[in-house]
């Protein structure tokens, strides 16, 4: 039978710790990390002990590590179970137990829900949680450096930014989330594509974002035919593709030009696409609503904005991500209504041949000069070309090279 010791946490619960097979012990003034075997990194399976240390100058990391090792040595030879609390008596243990998966987030102090939802969290933390979704009550949360916990979060209320969603949380005295509320999504910009109708779309249409795509020459011809884009002039060889922004300022590269086949501006202006009956909207949340920078913004998509009278707060916006095998959340057709046949499994079978929505590389996007944020002071006076990551909805790149969006 394996030797174990006990640690009583701040809630009075005695937690067991295996004393045999320890290969590494690391300590800070707020944390003891135990790994079994030879690993020296904080990974899945690490045993984490966190505590509030009122005397870090006396209870140094070296002293705490030495006392923990004394606890292990004594526990291995004792005929009765030993308690770490007897070896380190001047701290309050807040988190004790196996760490199954650590994911990162940011927090900042906030007094109430409204304050939390308007805040910009900046203090790094890790949560004992994997994947997206709302953290459960009872989830451990720790201050962090990178992916490594460095100490408990003080009891209080905070704004938490986790997995592209903001929350108002309460952290109790043992560094555990004891209450959580989801902030309503506040978007900086909303592009209601239904407003583009049958066009023509011009630079004054602030809903007029446009996506580049990448198809073989054969499928380009099918695409043009599907949307009724004239055969001449027709940009088959050097026309719009995944290189939405380039130093080429020829007519084919002009967003509002008569040889453009970008979606949806080109397919409206130069084809037969009419968006009047499609309920599709794209939203963007900036990394900082008071700074005019698209970098690290998050893309969202909605399929019920117009059904809800154009009221963003009443509509469902989900992160704009694409999957090889999964429909877009909330889509009535699986894909993007108005983009080919609106499906994902074989996107626009009539429009794009064998390509799928995921493979068409629609990550390059033109954004018009949208002006001031709906919720902050950021103000964009010029159009921009960005690259959006279809796997996590993040805006990764803002292109600075010369483009020609005008006719």
In this prediction, residue 217 has a pLDDT band, given cuts at 50, 70 and 90, of low
Rounded to the nearest 5°, which phi and psi values hold at 351? -100, -30
Average of per-residue pLDDT across 358-383 = 85
Lookup: tokens for 92: 């309050």
Q: How many angstroms from the chain centroid is the CA of residue 92?
A: 34
Stronger pLDDT, 149 or 205, i.e. the higher one: 205
How far CA 64 is from CA of 10, 39, 54, 249, in Å, comes to 18, 20, 13, 65
Lookup: tokens for 46: 């690490």
Look at the alpha carbons of 95, 77, 43, 130 in this order and tell me if their dihedral is positive or negative. negative
Q: Each residue of 149-182: pLDDT tens digit?
A: 888 899 999 999 988 788 999 998 878 899 999 8
Lowest mean pLDDT among 27-36, 110-119, 336-345: 336-345
Are the C-beta atoms of 254 and 233 separated by less than 8 Å? no
For 190, the enclosing helix (H) or strand (E) is strand 189-192
Average pLDDT, the chain: 82
Contacts of 55 (CB under 8 A, 6+ apart): 90
Q: How many angstroms from the chain centroid is the CA of residue 314?
A: 22
Q: Each residue of 80-89: pLDDT tens digit?
A: 999 999 999 9
Q: Which of 28-32, 241-245, 355-359, 368-372 has the highest mean pLDDT?
A: 368-372
Lookup: tokens for 8: 């009583």
Rounded to the nearest 5°, which phi and psi values hold at 77? -110, -15
């Amino acid at each position: 039978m394996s030797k174990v010791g006990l640690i009583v946490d701040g809630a009075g619960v005695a937690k067991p710790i295996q004393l045999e097979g320890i290969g590494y012990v690391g300590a800070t003034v707020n944390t003891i990390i135990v790994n079994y075997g030879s690993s020296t990194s904080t990974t899945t399976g690490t045993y984490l002990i966190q505590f509030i240390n009122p005397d870090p100058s006396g209870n140094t990391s070296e002293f705490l590590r030495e006392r923990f090792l004394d606890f292990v040595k004594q526990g291995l030879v004792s005929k009765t179970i030993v308690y770490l609390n007897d070896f380190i008596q001047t701290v309050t243990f807040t988190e004790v137990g196996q760490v199954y998966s650590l994911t990162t987030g940011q927090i900042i102090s906030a007094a109430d829900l409204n304050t939390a939802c308007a805040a910009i969290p900046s203090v790094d933390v890790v949560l004992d949680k994997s994947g997206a979704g709302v953290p459960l009550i009872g989830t451990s949360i720790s201050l962090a450096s990178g992916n490594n916990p460095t100490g408990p979060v003080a009891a209080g209320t905070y704004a938490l930014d986790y997995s592209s969603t903001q929350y108002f949380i309460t952290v109790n005295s043992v560094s555990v989330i004891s209450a959580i509320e989801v902030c309503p999504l506040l978007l900086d910009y909303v592009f209601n594509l239904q407003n583009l109708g049958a066009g023509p779309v011009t630079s004054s249409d602030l809903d007029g974002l446009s996506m580049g795509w990448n198809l073989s020459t054969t499928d380009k011809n099918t695409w043009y035919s599907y949307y009724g884009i004239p055969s001449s002039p027709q940009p088959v060889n050097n026309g719009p593709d995944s290189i939405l922004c380039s130093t080429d300022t020829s007519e084919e590269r002009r967003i509002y030009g008569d040889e453009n086949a970008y979606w949806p501006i080109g397919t409206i202006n130069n084809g037969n696409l009419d968006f009047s009956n499609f309920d599709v909207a794209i939203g963007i949340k900036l990394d900082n609503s008071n700074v005019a920078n698209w970098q690290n913004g998050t893309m969202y998509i909605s399929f019920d904005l117009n059904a809800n009278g154009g009221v963003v707060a009443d509509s469902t916006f989900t992160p704009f991500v694409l999957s090889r095998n999964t429909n877009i959340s909330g889509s009535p057709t699986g894909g993007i209504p108005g983009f080919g046949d609106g499906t994902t499994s074989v996107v626009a079978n009539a429009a794009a041949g064998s390509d799928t929505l995921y493979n068409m590389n629609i990550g390059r996007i033109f954004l018009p000069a949208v002006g001031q944020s709906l919720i902050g002071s950021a103000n964009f006076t010029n159009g921009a070309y960005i690259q959006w990551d279809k796997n996590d909805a993040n805006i990764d790149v803002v292109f600075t090279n010369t483009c020609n969006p005008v006719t």
